[in-house]
Amino acid sequence: MVLSPGEHNDQFYLAQVPIRVKDSTEKPPLASLESEISVPEFLDEDAVSNINLWMSSTSSRSSIHYDPYRNVLGVVMGQKKVTLWPPDAAPYLYPKPLYGEASNHSEVNFVEPDYQKYPRFRDASKHSLVLVVDAGSAVFIPEAWFHQVDSAALTIAVNFWWASKQSYAFDTPMDSYYLRRILMSLLDAEKVNKQQLSMQFTYIVLQRSMLGWNPHVDVEGDLDDVQGVEDLTVNSLSSLETKQLHVILSCVAVAVNNGNCEDDPVANVFLNTSPRSLRRIFLTMVTTFPRSLEALVLHALSPVAAELLTKQFEEMDSIASEASQGEFYKHFYSVFDDSSVAMAALLDRKEAFASKALDSVMEKFLGYKLH
């Protein structure tokens, strides 16, 4: 703040004024204060890279942000209220894009949040921890934890920054590998989220267990027990399997006529059907509705449905014998003129599903929209 001669202003805010900047060639503005400050005993003084002064004459509020350091914030005079969020709360806080100047800050104006633009922020408080720090006390803020600080009037504080051991692993030739591993981990979690399994799958597993269904011990018998494909007809199916078959056939008919089924009922069938029942339904389609099975795979599967279908195939593979499952795939792909086209269609939709999940990861954690 710069005042003209004769002017005065009793309101001021000093933010992050350096007292110590390790390895800097320039003397920090408040270097003379360092001799008056004792580094907390639990810290390695040589490891502390920065010491900063914070001072406000009136109450003040910081934005929501994170720092790439570990931080001990000590209050000398006054009081601070610190709200903390763990790193995995980033989707609720909408971090700014990485290419921006303030990429470690949230885009949300938390004082008057625009919930239409930032709907996830409604749930941000559920993931937060609020601490009040009085004079003579300090708070540890872990590296990468988002925080927002309210300062009372006439508050003075000093903070200490130091790098974590994990941070020394970066700026190496391994950075690109770490990036891919981290993105893949977030992508896998987001794919599960996109399938709405975090809540729905828990409910389904609980419901199945109450009925005695176990994914590895089917209540109707082993997968290898399924009768021959030539013996399977619509009349062979249970009433529930018949309803599920009807849902699939109805959506195929809509897709063939260039329409879309609302709420993706085919994906719901794949999610809510046991591997044994789904295999019976598919084998019935092989004998009775071969063209509908072909159209299902080539034209009617959404990206989510394709992901769930391949998960079902993996579940079947883990339960059935290799010979039995090999026979199933032989019949399943027999309805296609070229089985490689069917496999390519499934793969394309799986990759489309993964692409959407990656879009969500980039937007939620990096503030960047790919499309």
Higher pLDDT, 222 or 250: 250
pTM across the whole model: 0.69
The whole-chain average pLDDT of the chain stands at 86
9 falls in which pLDDT band (50, 70, 90)?
low
C-alpha 234/C-alpha 131 separation (Å) is: 63
Residue bearing tokens 């109707």: 220
Note the pLDDT of residue 145.
Answer: 96
Averaged pLDDT, 116-136? 96
Q: To which residue do tokens 């790439």 refer?
A: 68
pLDDT in tens, 264-313: 899 999 988 999 999 999 999 999 999 999 999 999 999 999 999 999 99
pLDDT band of 368, cuts 50, 70, 90: confident
Rounded to an integer, the average pLDDT of 6-25 is 80
Q: Per the structure block, which two tokens stand in for 181?
A: 């591993």
pLDDT digits (tens, 9 = 90+) for 325-361: 999 999 999 999 999 999 999 999 999 999 988 999 9
Residue 12: pLDDT band by 50, 70, 90 thresholds? Answer: confident
